[in-house]
Amino acid sequence: MPAVGRRWVTLGVLGVAVAAAAPAAMAVAGPADNPSARSASAGDRTQDVRRAIEGGKARNVILFLGDGMGDSEITIARNYARGAAGRLEMDQLPLTGEYTTYAVTKGDPSKPDYVTDSAASGTGWATGHKTYNKAISVDAYGNPQPTILELAKRNGYRTGDVTTAEVQDATPAVLGSHVVDRDCKGPNETTKTCPTNAKENGGAGSIAEQLVQTRPDVLLGGGAAYFDQTVKAGKFQGKTVLDQAKASGYDVVTDGAGLKSARGDKPLLGLFAPNNMDLQWVGPQAVPGGTPAATCLPNTALPASQPKLADMTRKALDVLDRGSRRGDKGFFLQVEGASIDKQDHAANPCGQIGETVGFDDAIAAGMAYAHSHPDTLVLVTADHGHTSQIIPNGTKSPGATATLITHDGAQMTINYATALPGQSQEHTGTEVRLAGYGPQAANVVGITDQTDLFFTMNRALGLR
């Protein structure tokens, strides 16, 4: 058989080699030079599983949160970037389970809301309390609840909060702020939407102000626009939130070069975009009737100065590790791949896949750290499921579809049908993956709830 235009794929333990047509224009395929990512066999995981079952205390916890990254989104990214028999870095974690994600009704926590948003789900894993959609680390009655990051900080741990969205977006916000509505990102929005939280009314302030007051050691992402707003009351009245951050001791960086050169001897605030950070990949938008088969392309509009999520993760790990090296306490770090969700809403498969692959690269950075620091618990999960589904090629769907040419050289049709074409696609109420590596990782096995994750992390760090 001629080898031209073909590649050989080994099928698991059978050792059978078959020829597969290579994609003609695979412009973006992710880090396929990782041998473990190409293998369908992860090898013998007995020791990792035994260590996790034995439990013990973790010095460090790293939580990776893929926003909107349900099992379908993982499968789509794997098929495209690695092939059906390949594996992503997140697939290598030895222990997996699923957790339920439902929210509750405002003022009535006994009544479930079966489809959560990121704010309610984030509040669940960050505080151990169910709440209503749009709430940020308050319970169903609006009462603030302490978060895992705040508790870690009080107990002497270093803390970090990293995202590709605005740092005031739901997932990073639930770790260091408490407001009744997720839209209260800056002082202006809080005055209008969350008056009880507004500084001028005696509240703790907007999400941006509260994050500065909580003062994680590392805070990286977008959202610079809200730091430019003016504080309306208190010690910093008339000054910007950024002024408040600098007065709190933050070293502020705004691009990849600044991030790389930051010494990390002070709290580090990285604001790399006015709002959300840019996408890694672009490609055809899903439309009614489908698209011609295509491949994804790098986003040429992505500023060269903007760091990737893996870059931010490595810097956060370096700063937190060096800052905690001399003490008996380690760190808690949350890393969010935020725009998997945002591009699922937009029915943009290449944007969604590129963000999933970028998130997976960040997980690889975290796992590299954990392999050399075995007292580190790594957790990988999502906050809710989303709309994208793989359907048979040629299906006449009532939704919007796009067809991509995968790493296998095969066509994959992706369907978006939780809203009318052209409208924002909706979350789903499915359970989502939870995977773990390291001390206490056995607690992810089986079916749990997102609130249980708070207690797993709390136990691992031994927090009071």
417 part of a folded domain = no
Provide the H-helix boundaries in 155-205.
170-173, 187-193
398 part of a folded domain = no
Q: Tell me the per-residue pLDDT of 388-436, one tens digit each, with 9 for 90 and over.
A: 999 999 999 999 999 999 999 999 999 999 999 999 999 999 999 999 9
421 part of a folded domain = no
368 part of a folded domain = yes
Mean pLDDT (the chain, rounded): 91
Q: Tell me the per-residue pLDDT of 249-296, one tens digit each, with 9 for 90 and over.
A: 999 999 999 999 999 999 999 999 999 999 999 999 999 999 999 999
3-class DSSP assignment, residue 377: strand
239 part of a folded domain = yes
Query: Known catalytic residue: 118?
Result: yes
CATH number at residue 136: 3.40.720.10
* Confidence bin at 23 (pLDDT 50/70/90): very low
User: pLDDT value at position 48?
Assistant: 80
Indicate if the pLDDT at residue 374 is higher than 90.
yes
319 part of a folded domain = yes
423 part of a folded domain = no
Indicate if the pLDDT at residue 355 is higher than 70.
yes
What does the alpha-carbon distance between residue 300 and residue 307 come to, in Å, rounded to a whole number? 14
What does the alpha-carbon distance between residue 347 and residue 235 come to, in Å, rounded to a whole number? 45
Q: Are 438 and 396 in contact (CB under 8 A)?
A: no
Q: Which residues is 179 bridged to in the sheet?
A: 136
Q: How far is CA 330 from CA 58, 153, 264, in A?
A: 8, 10, 15
Q: Tell me the per-residue pLDDT of 159-187, one tens digit each, with 9 for 90 and over.
A: 999 999 999 999 999 999 999 999 999 99
User: pLDDT value at position 42?
Assistant: 54
93 part of a folded domain = yes
Q: Tell me the per-residue pLDDT of 116-151, one tens digit each, with 9 for 90 and over.
A: 999 999 999 999 999 999 999 999 999 999 999 999
For residue 266, which of 248, 283, 280, 282 has the smallest C-alpha distance? 248
Report the domain count for the chain. 1
Q: Which residues is 414 bridged to in the sheet?
A: 390, 402
- Residue span of the structural domain in which 442 resides: 46-289+296-386+429-461
At 363, the amino acid letter reads: I
- Cα 255 from chain centre: 20
| Identified catalytic residue from 72, 110, 118, 121 | 118
